[in-house]
Amino acid sequence: MGRYSREEQPHQDRDDFANLTKLSPYVWRYSRRVAVALGCLLLGKLATVCIPLLLKGIIDSLDEQTDGLLGAKDQLIVVVPLAMLIGYGALRLASGLFSELRDILFSRVRYSAMHQMAVDVLERLHQLSLRFHLERNTGGISRDLERGTRSLASVLNLLVFSILPTIAEFLLVGGILLYRYDWTLMAVILLTVSVYVIFTLSMSKWRMSFRHDMNKYDSAANGRAIDSLLNYETVKYFNNEKMEVANYNEQLGLWGAAGQKTQISLSALNFGQGAIVTVGVTIIMILAASEVAAGEITIGDLVLINALMLQLFIPLSILGSVYRSLQYSLADMDLVIKLLDLTPEIQDTDSAVPLVIDKGRVEFKNVSFHYDESRPILRDVSFTIEQGQKVAVVGPSGSGKSTLVRLLFRFYDVSEGTIEIDGQSIALCTQESLRRAIGIVPQDTVLFNDTIRYNIAYANPDADENQVREAAEKADLGTLLSRLPDGLDTIVGERGLKLSGGEKQRLAISRVILKSPGIILFDEATSSLDSRSEKAILGSLEKVSSGATSLVIAHRLSTIIDADQIVVLDDGVVVETGDHFKLLKNDGLYKRLWDMQQSEQDD
């Protein structure tokens, strides 16, 4: 899915109408509230348009009654119909009241729609395959989630608070003018508004390129300056201060030139808009004045027409910014719709059934897999892990070891062959039941930025305090917890950075203990630890795997000497199988790997 930044033009390859149709259910869940809010919008605009009508009545009344009263200013207030003055104030009050009621009623619609869309986007992100997430960066996914809420809110705000009110006001004003006056006035207004809208949209679209250039050069200049300061020593080493300043100066020069074009284009837009409005209103006032002179309309009508014109063109003055914001919001919305339309790569079949664990026997049958057809990862891999056995998979880097774990968890589906647990193909079982039955101690334990308790209980959110503490004790976390003032309530930091590698691995082990699965995977669980930490962790691993079916992906061969069976992979193919001593006698790849690691250890 494509992405653009706010420094770039929003992409045009989208179907806005189709996207709005797809997102309409988020709004129409509150159809009654929307209808009432739109009713308040119309009533508010009706009150706004009626204010000039009442003003016309007041002026005409004053005009009729000023004969003989020119010197009696104090009597004018008495003569002017009091009801009109009260009505004038009431209409202004009603206009504001209905506008606020519209905002109040629509706020629930807007925030509820944002809420539901954010939930749907996050749910879809969790449904999408590991392949999707590996190809995306975390910041990009975060922006998708953010855009999912803001784009809908922005479009709704622009439609309800800018576009629809302007359309409603234009229709009301047009209806009044057509009903009360000659059609030529409405024709001039329609022509003026049409020219105004076309000019504004064309100029705004043209201006956007200058604004984008300005933002782009500004970011480039700031980035260059910060980069040169972060690399201060390197700049000094090579005497390149002048070059860095020159590069910064060049970017600022481009930024300044783009800024001048932006200002010139803005001035041209403002002058053009003003000129169009001035010409249109002048023509209308000339026509209206001629009718006043002919006695066909009153001075109050002249004031009414002028007030309606100003009232009509004020909201149109922000048309350029509304158009620009709408373009960005629709582009953001398109990105989110494309995300919601993505089909998860791994899906349960219609006939999928829950996995039933009896013995915990795992069997890989002629499994082949590739991420890309031109680059096979596994080829015809077969081996069996009997109930309670510990089977290790070893091999050079890139031989496909960790891919076995991902296939067993069904993050990917095999290209050929089957993986069975107790005779049940995992492809025919529900993913939820499959992953519930398997525990894992990964190579790199990534923790939530929360408490130790939360991270342990993540394996079983329904576990009580005693169960969490017992799991921690079994994983030899007791000493750590006794040293920490807050114990289980200690915050581990982002990705668990406040804990050492060994402590994080123990926490991962405690998770598996709490989950108590029948099948446990160890994906190079000690490869990132030093020798002392590794020896300490190995004892905990033995405890947790006792009696369970275990698949160990190993880098350090010294950790799997006691394995019931060792499967040796090379370039995705099983080249050897057997226990540690048998493989040493074979004098094959395993023997070479063993000798290499022993030599490194001796050194």
pLDDT in tens, 391-419: 999 988 888 888 999 999 999 999 999 99
Give the pLDDT mean for 63-84: 54
Q: What is the CATH number of the domain that holds 473?
A: 3.40.50.300
- Which of these, 427, 381, 425, 373, lies nearest to 401 by C-alpha position? 381
pLDDT band at 599; cut points 50, 70, 90: confident
For residues 97 and 131, membership in a common domain is answered with: yes
For residues 203 and 273, membership in a common domain is answered with: yes
Q: What is the pLDDT of residues 507-548, one digit of tens each?
A: 888 888 888 888 988 887 665 555 565 666 666 677 676 778
- Does residue 302 form part of some domain? no
For residues 71 and 157, membership in a common domain is answered with: yes
Q: What is the CATH number of the domain that holds 112?
A: 1.20.1560.10
What contacts 508, CB < 8 A, 6 or more positions away? 441, 442, 445, 525
How many C-beta atoms lie closer than 10 Å to residue 498's C-beta? 16
Last residue of a domain, one of 468, 495, 516: 516
For residues 419 and 393, membership in a common domain is answered with: yes
What's at 246, amino acid-wise? Answer: A
Q: Which residue has the higher pLDDT, 222 or 539?
A: 222
Residue 38: the pLDDT is: 85
DSSP 214-239: HHHHHHHHHHHHHHHHHTHHHHHHTT
Are 125 and 117 in contact, with CB atoms under 8 Å apart? no
For residues 569 and 586, membership in a common domain is answered with: yes
Q: What gap in Å lies between CA 544 and CA 597, rounded to an integer?
A: 26
Are 51 and 91 in contact, with CB atoms under 8 Å apart? yes
For residues 395 and 466, membership in a common domain is answered with: no
Q: Three-state SS for 390?
A: strand
Q: Where are the beta strands (DSSP E) in 489-554?
A: 519-523, 549-553
Q: What is the pLDDT of residues 234-285, one digit of tens each?
A: 888 888 888 989 988 998 888 888 888 888 888 888 888 888 888 888 888 8
Residue identified by tokens 């082990």 is 509
- Does residue 331 form part of some domain? yes
Cross-strand partners of 577: 567
- Does residue 534 form part of some domain? no
- Does residue 363 form part of some domain? yes
The most confident of the ranges 213-217, 276-280, 365-369 is 365-369
Give the pLDDT mean for 575-589: 90
Residue 74: the pLDDT is: 47
Positive or negative CA dihedral for 35, 38, 43, 49?
Answer: negative
What contacts 227, CB < 8 A, 6 or more positions away? none
Q: What gap in Å lies between CA 416 and CA 376, rounded to an integer?
A: 11
Angle between helices 138-158 and 319-341 (to 10 degrees): 130
pLDDT band at 2; cut points 50, 70, 90: very low
End-to-end CA distance of the chain: 50
Residue 72: the pLDDT is: 46
Domain count, the chain: 4
Choose the weakest-confidence range: 42-56, 135-149, 439-453: 135-149
Residue 532: the pLDDT is: 61
Please give the backbone phi and psi of residue 573, each rounded to the nearest 5 degrees, phi first. -120, 140
Q: What is the pLDDT of residues 43-61, one digit of tens each?
A: 888 888 787 777 777 776 7
- Which of these, 413, 431, 421, lies nearest to 548 by C-alpha position? 421
Cross-strand partners of 568: 394, 576
For residues 370 and 482, membership in a common domain is answered with: no
pLDDT band at 116; cut points 50, 70, 90: confident
What's the DSSP call for residue 1? Answer: -
Q: What gap in Å lies between CA 146 and CA 365, rounded to an integer?
A: 43
Are 17 and 47 in contact, with CB atoms under 8 Å apart? no
pLDDT band at 601; cut points 50, 70, 90: low
Residue 9 has pLDDT above 70, yes or no: no
For residues 143 and 244, membership in a common domain is answered with: no
- Which of these, 414, 419, 441, 602, lies nearest to 520 by C-alpha position? 441
For residues 456 and 584, membership in a common domain is answered with: no
How many C-beta atoms lie closer than 10 Å to residue 312's C-beta? 23
Residue 550 has pLDDT above 80, yes or no: yes
Range of the domain at 230: 182-296
Give the pLDDT mean for 96-119: 85
Residue 547: the pLDDT is: 73
Choose the weakest-confidence range: 14-23, 57-66, 300-309, 441-450: 57-66
Q: What gap in Å lies between CA 50 and CA 91, rounded to an integer?
A: 7
Burial of 132 (0-12, 13-18, 19+ CB in 10 A): middle
Give the pLDDT mean for 470-481: 84
Cα radius of gyration (the chain)? 37
Last residue of a domain, one of 296, 314, 335: 296
Residue identified by tokens 């160990």 is 552
Question: Residue 585 is encoded by which pair of tokens?
Answer: 């006698």
- Does residue 495 form part of some domain? yes
Residue 200: the pLDDT is: 84
What's at 314, amino acid-wise? Answer: I
Mean pLDDT, the chain, as a whole number?
Answer: 82
- Does residue 463 form part of some domain? yes
Are 444 and 525 in contact, with CB atoms under 8 Å apart? no
For residues 130 and 105, membership in a common domain is answered with: yes
- Does residue 126 form part of some domain? yes
Please give the backbone phi and psi of residue 514, each rounded to the nearest 5 degrees, phi first. -70, -35
The CA–CA distances, whole Å, from 135 to 138, 153, 401 equal 10, 28, 20
Residue 324 has pLDDT above 70, yes or no: yes
- Does residue 538 form part of some domain? no
Give the pLDDT mean for 94-121: 85
For residues 478 and 429, membership in a common domain is answered with: no
Please give the backbone phi and psi of residue 586, each rounded to the nearest 5 degrees, phi first. -65, -25
For residues 380 and 428, membership in a common domain is answered with: yes
What's at 528, amino acid-wise? Answer: S
